[in-house]
Chain A
C-alpha cells in the first residue's frame, strides 16, 4: 500500500496517514522524487491533517525528503498539522526549521503557486 501522490498543475500533493510505517515513508521518498523529475513539478505539499502521531524519525525523514526535493528545484510546504501534534512535536524537542507550514491545503497551494508565478 503506497501513499497516493496527487497532481494539481505543477504541484504535487501527498496526503499523509497516521499509520505510516518506516518502509512506507522510504517508498514515498523514492516515488516522490521520481515524480518530481518526471512531472517537472516545482512544489510539493505534505498534508498532515490525517496524522495524529509524529515521532522524531518521521520528522527527520520528511525533512530529508524536503531537502532532496529542494535539490531538484521543488519547494515543500507542510499543511494541516493538528494542534495536539504541534504541541507534542515541540515538547518532544523538534526544531521546526525552515520548512514553510500553512494551516490548510488551500493556503499551501496558494503559497506554492505564488512562488512559481513570481519573476
Chain B
C-alpha cells in the first residue's frame, strides 16, 4: 500500500483557531474533489474536534492529511491534545451525553460525518482522535 502524504497542522489555542481549522480542512477537501456536501461534513467534523480541544484541553493541534492509496483518495484528520483525557470513551461516543453543557453530539456526530473515527485516550493521558473520509 503506497500512501502519499501532504500535511497541514493547525495549532489550536483558542476559539478563533476553530474557524481556521475548519476552513483549512474544507480547502483541502475541496482540492481533493469532495462534493460541497462532503466538504461541509468534513469541516463540521473538524469544528467539533477542534472545539473539544479548546473546551477540555485548552490547547492542542489538528493535523489534516491527504491520503492517496493507489486510485483511492481521502482525507485524514488527527486531533490531539495533552489534556485531561477521556475517562469513558464509549460514553463519549454516545449521543446526548455532554460533560460540558454542550449538545453531546460532537464525537458521535464527527464519526457519522467522517465515516471512520478512532479514539486513543485515557484519564490524565491526553487524547488523540483520528478520523478519515474517503472520496472513493
Residues of A within 8 A of B (CB): 19-23, 52-57, 59-60, 82-85, 87-88, 91-94
Q: Is the CB of B108 within 8 A of A93?
A: yes
Q: Indicate if the CB atoms of B37 and A88 lie closer than 8 Å.
A: yes
B19 at the A interface (CB under 8 A) = yes
Given contacts A55-B48, A57-B102, A92-B44, contact A21 B15 (CB under 8 A): yes
Interface of B toward A, CB cutoff 8 Å: 15-16, 18-19, 22-23, 26, 35-37, 39-41, 43-44, 47-48, 51, 95, 102-103, 105-106, 108-109, 112-113
Contact A84 B102 (CB under 8 A): no
Whether B48 contacts A53 by the Cβ 8 Å rule is: no
Given A53-B47, A93-B108, 14 other A-B contacts at CB below 8 A?
A: A21-B16, A22-B15, A53-B22, A53-B43, A55-B22, A55-B44, A56-B102, A56-B103, A56-B105, A57-B51, A82-B40, A84-B39, A85-B40, A87-B41
Q: How far is the CB of A91 from chain B (nearest CB, A)?
A: 5
Q: Which residues of B contact A83 (CB under 8 A)?
A: 37
CB distance from B62 to the nearest CB of A (A): 14
Closest 3 CB pairs of A and B: A93-B105, A55-B47, A92-B109
Bound-complex Cα distance A84 to B37 (A): 4
Q: A22 touching B113 by the CB < 8 A rule? A: no
Given known pairs A22-B15, A91-B113, A92-B109, the reply for A55 and B51 (CB within 8 Å) is: yes
Q: Is the interface of B mostly helix, strand, loop or mixed?
A: helix
* 17 pairs, CB–CB < 8 Å, chain A vs chain B: A19-B19, A22-B15, A55-B22, A55-B44, A55-B47, A55-B51, A56-B102, A56-B106, A57-B47, A59-B103, A87-B37, A87-B40, A88-B40, A92-B113, A93-B95, A93-B112, A94-B105
Q: Do the beta carbons of B26 and A23 come within 8 Å of each other?
A: no
